[in-house]
Amino acid sequence: MAQVEAAPGIMTTADGQPLKLSLQRALRRSKIRAMLLVAPLFLFILVTFLLPILDMTFRSVENQLVSEILHRSVPLLQQWDEKTGDLPPEDVFQAMVEDFKEGRENRTIGRVGTRLNYEVAGMSSLFRSTARKARRIKEGPYTDALIKANKRWGDVETWRLIKRESGTITLSYYLAAVDLRFGSDGSVQAQPENRQIYVKLFVRTLWLSTLITALCLVLGYPISYLLATLPTRTSNMLMILVLLPFWTSLLVRTTSWIVLLQQEGVINDLLVWVGIIADDARIRMIHNQAGTIIAMTHILLPFMVLPLYSVMKTIPPSYMRAAMSLGANPFTAFMRVYVPNTVAGIGAGGILVFIIAIGYYITPALVGGTSGTLISNFIAYHMQVSLNWGLAGALGAILLAIVLILYLLYDKIVGIDNMKLG
């Protein structure tokens, strides 16, 4: 008999196949179908989102430049004991001179100078000037020749720095991102006072984002309530007004705030004309924190209104009526019955606005002045101007970590499943 005997206790289909197996086979097709449907978006996100994030995070610790370009001297430096206070031996100096000659030919030596300059000021010019003179060094003793080219080569600190930064990964970007640095003895210490900016910026970013989120909630809640309780026809029209900002270019909206708020702007002119303020006491409302707060609150308001509205829309009017028929005055009914039922919307809108605000860039750049810039503006600065991508990566990774931590906290306290985005 060709019939396959199934093991006792295993369910089989009519033709003797184990039931589990044929079920899996039947499900496989739909799984493949689902995967194919998701694949294009997944690839897109992988290439444009996940890989760049990974790349930037990698750059924030990556440190191969020094050991790659100074490939003769760095291995020799490893045998040198930097704690004795003596200069490295002659062979290190010789190797360094050769590295300089090659680096000058390949035009790569300047990059090492730039890299080391992030750690200690003056390194860039040291490398530039040495590169010029090194090609004339023909024979030893190389120690004296190099020190003659620039006396900083006679400083043990210079060599310690090169040795410290010759590892393949470094934490110095992360230290710099929180206003710390390696001291000459390799210990972690605070940056000099005048270079401490990032912690202050992180704190300011978090504080302003919180403030903007709170403002959006205070302004958005009544609007959403109105929208959710009005007859559909009216509320649809008002909804268009709420969404109108989405249809206008961000740049246009931000610059119109400049027109409105600047010292010679519409609002100040109006106030002076009405006589509320004197002409020489015009209020500064833009190119400072106030500008960032006003413009960003305006831009992010719809992100608060939409989740709130969609949650409020699902709350039957009979809840409030029931509460009132049970003897609660309208205020009590609102606070004890309506508001608790909108928590999901408050949470969703709040987290949405907060996360967008924490990484916002254009608006603070245009209207923030110096007191209104956020951390993202410095990330952009390091990406585009100073080209210190390692520091940009470290700042970005810290920002990402903060968002993830807040997200997890939110999940712990409110529960992500309760969030309702629309």
Partner 1 sequence: MTVQSGAFVSFKEVQKSYDGETLVVKNLNLDIEKGEFLTMLGPSGSGKTTCLMMLAGFETATHGEIVLDGAPINHVPPHKRDIGMVFQNYALFPHMTVAENLAFPLQVRRMSKADIEQRVQRALDMVQLGPFGGRRPAQLSGGQQQRVAVARALVFDPKLVLMDEPLGALDKQLREQMQYEIKHIHESLEVTVVYVTHDQSEALTMSNRIAVFDDGIIQQLASPDELYELPENAFVAQFIGENNRLVGKVTAENGTHCTIDIAGNAIQALAVNHAGVGSVSTLSLRPERVFINPGDGLCPNVFDARVEELIYLGDHMRTRVNVCGHDDFIVKVPNSAGHVHLKPGETVKVGWQAEDCRALDAPAEAA
- The residue ranges that bind partner 1 (CB under 8 A) are 316, 318-319, 321-330, 332-333, 336-337, 340-341, 343
In DSSP terms, which residues pair with 182 in a beta bridge? 188
Nearer to partner 1, 40 or 340 (CB): 340
Burial string for 289-317 (b: 16+ CB within 10 Å, else e) reads: bbbbbbbbbbbbbbbbbbbbbbbbeebee
Residues 6+ apart with CB under 8 A from 124: 110, 113, 114, 116, 117
Q: Which of 335, 416 has the CB closer to partner 1?
A: 335
233, 238, 239, 242: CA torsion to nearest 10: 180
Q: Can you say whether the dihedral through the CA atoms of 33, 38, 44, 46 is positive or negative? A: negative
Q: How far is the CB of 334 from partner 1 (least distance, A)?
A: 12
Query: Which residue lies nearer to partner 1 by CB, 64 or 325?
Result: 325
Distance CA 420, CA 306 (A): 10
Considering the complex, state which of residue 171 and residue 343 has its C-beta at the smaller distance from partner 1.
343
Q: Which is nearer to partner 1, 335 or 404 (CB)?
A: 335
In this complex, which beta carbon is closest to partner 1, that of residue 189 or of residue 332?
A: 332
Q: Kindly state the smallest distance separating residue 339's Cβ from partner 1, in Å.
A: 10
Q: Smaller CB distance to partner 1: residue 9 or 340?
A: 340
The half-sphere exposure of 78 on its side-chain side, counting CA atoms within 13 A, is 8
- Between residues 79 and 229, which has the closer beta carbon with respect to partner 1? 229
Instruction: Give the span between the Cα atoms of 381 and 394, in whole angstroms.
Output: 13
385, 386, 391, 397 alpha-carbon torsion, rounded to 10°: 0
Closest contact distance (angstroms) between CB of 346 and partner 1 is 13
Q: Which is nearer to partner 1, 214 or 328 (CB)?
A: 328
Q: Is the peptide bond before 141 cis (omega within 30 degrees of 0)?
A: yes
d(CA 98, CA 108): 13
Nearer to partner 1, 147 or 414 (CB): 414
